[in-house]
A = this chain, B = another copy of it.
Amino acid sequence: MAARGSYEELARHLSGIGAVRREMSRGFPADCPPASAAVLALLHKYGEMRMSRLAELMVIDMSVTSRHVAHTAERGWVERLPDPRDGRSRLLCLTERGRRQLDTLSEATTEALESFLHDWTDDDIARLNGMLARLRESFGDCRARVTRQDTPHPAARHCSRK
């Protein structure tokens, strides 16, 4: 348990971190809002998945997820395939175009972070990543639990279609 002041400082930072995110996404293509970028990044990292799981990973309601995915599907970045094991469900997977789009985004992200964080060492960034991962886990553990099996399996399957 920490002092009240530390909590208040953390709250201020959390509320201010949105500016960092905004700044970072300024370099994104106009038709690819941050939410779409998140969809692509998660499909790339975790591979093919259903809507409900993507919603869990993004920690937003499935109704919202549905619209984000629709946006990416309209641009041909993601395909919604029928789930052979459940007719209600749809399997999302990154297309070739989606992968290319993600490359563009990744380049913009890296470029921005390299310039902003030029005086951060590798270890600095690794430490920050570690703490943010733990922070998100601490919050995640107290709410809609993400199904374990979520470990980023290296053999993430992707859509094979063009």
Residues of chain A whose beta carbon lies under 8 Å from any beta carbon of chain B = 1-4, 6-24, 34, 37-38, 41-42, 45, 58-60, 106, 109-110, 113-122, 124-129, 131-133, 135-136, 138-139, 142-143
A20's contact among B37, B41, B60, B135, by CB below 8 Å, is which? B135
Report whether B13 and A136 are in contact in the complex, using a CB–CB cutoff of 8 Å: yes
Report whether A20 and B12 are in contact in the complex, using a CB–CB cutoff of 8 Å: no
Given contacts A15-B38, A17-B21, 6 further A-B contacts (CB under 8 A): A1-B122, A4-B106, A6-B126, A7-B114, A8-B41, A127-B131
**How far does the alpha carbon of A3 sit from the alpha carbon of B113 in the complex, in Å?**
11
A136's contact among B16, B24, B129, by CB below 8 Å, is which? B16
Top 4 A-B pairs, shortest CB-CB distance: A19-B59, A13-B132, A7-B113, A2-B122
Report whether A136 and B19 are in contact in the complex, using a CB–CB cutoff of 8 Å: yes
Contacts of A58 in B (CB 8 A): 16, 19
Question: Provided the pairs A15-B34, A106-B4, A136-B16 are in contact, do residues A142 and B116 lie with their beta carbons within 8 angstroms?
Answer: yes
Contacts of A142 in B (CB 8 A): 115-116
Closest B residue to A129 using CB positions: B9
Contacts of A19 in B (CB 8 A): 58-60, 136, 139
Closest B residue to A44 using CB positions: B8
Report whether A8 and B109 are in contact in the complex, using a CB–CB cutoff of 8 Å: yes
A14's contact among B8, B11, B24, by CB below 8 Å, is which? B24
**How far does the alpha carbon of A139 sit from the alpha carbon of B129 in the complex, in Å?**
16
Shortest beta-carbon distance, A49 to chain B, in Å? 15
Report whether B119 and A138 are in contact in the complex, using a CB–CB cutoff of 8 Å: yes
